[in-house]
Amino acid sequence: MNQEQFHGRLEEYKLIASVKEAKYLEKAAEANVSAAVLSIGNIGVIKGYVDFFKNRKIPVFLHLERIGGISYDREGIAFLAHYVKPDGIVTTRNTLVKLAKKQGLLTIQRLFLVDSDSLKSGLSSLAETQPDAVELMPALLPEYIEEYKRVIDIPIIAGGLIRKREQMEEVLQHGATAVSVGNPLLWKESFLHDSSVAV
């Protein structure tokens, strides 16, 4: 999957399934999602999980810091790209975004918004790494989404602390391209052809 296709899926489905337990793999695969982000597994099982989604034509990203047994260096990322073959990665680390891009993987850079300094440092990180999308956490800070939207031209994914559809709709209305949620009950929500959340 290339960047244009990924951005198209984000716009179309507006929902990312953040999978934190293996028992929810099937539920994520049944949902209308832009992608699945796996925060589970280890070097021994992760290829099977990735193949599970790829066989169903669902883009799959690995949250690198949560996958056991993978080293965070050039060789580790090369192993992922050429053997495991996810569509991309999610990470908070600038160096991993750069390494993944060199290996042809899509990248989502995760930023935690804790104060006004994190807003500035986040923007400078994005300028340096040029990821394919940014995930802002926690999601329930719509004014920050608007602020980022004014100065960056990559899709914004809002994630963290979302418990109901109304919260999902709110962040989409404030400029997020998609919402990332870990609650399998919320994966049933569909934003396909929902003009009320168009931004």
* DSSP per-residue codes, 89-141: EEES-HHHHHHHHHTT-EEEEEEE--SHHHHHHHHHHHHHH--SEEEEESS--
Q: What is the pTM of this model?
A: 0.94
pLDDT bin (cut points 50, 70, 90) of residue 199 is very low
**Secondary structure letter of residue 2 according to DSSP:** -
What domains can you pick out in the chain, each with its CATH number? Answer: 3-188 (3.20.20.70)
Over residues 39-43, the mean pLDDT reads 94
Pairing of strands 106-112, 156-159: unpaired
132-183 pLDDT, tens digit each? 999 999 998 888 899 899 999 999 999 999 999 999 999 999 999 999 999 9
Give dist(CA 166, CA 42) in Å, integer. Answer: 34
Half-sphere exposure (Cβ direction) of 5: Cα atoms closer than 13 Å: 9
Give dist(CA 95, CA 146) in Å, integer. Answer: 27
What percentage of residues in the chain have a pLDDT greater than 90? 84
**What pLDDT score does 115 carry?**
83
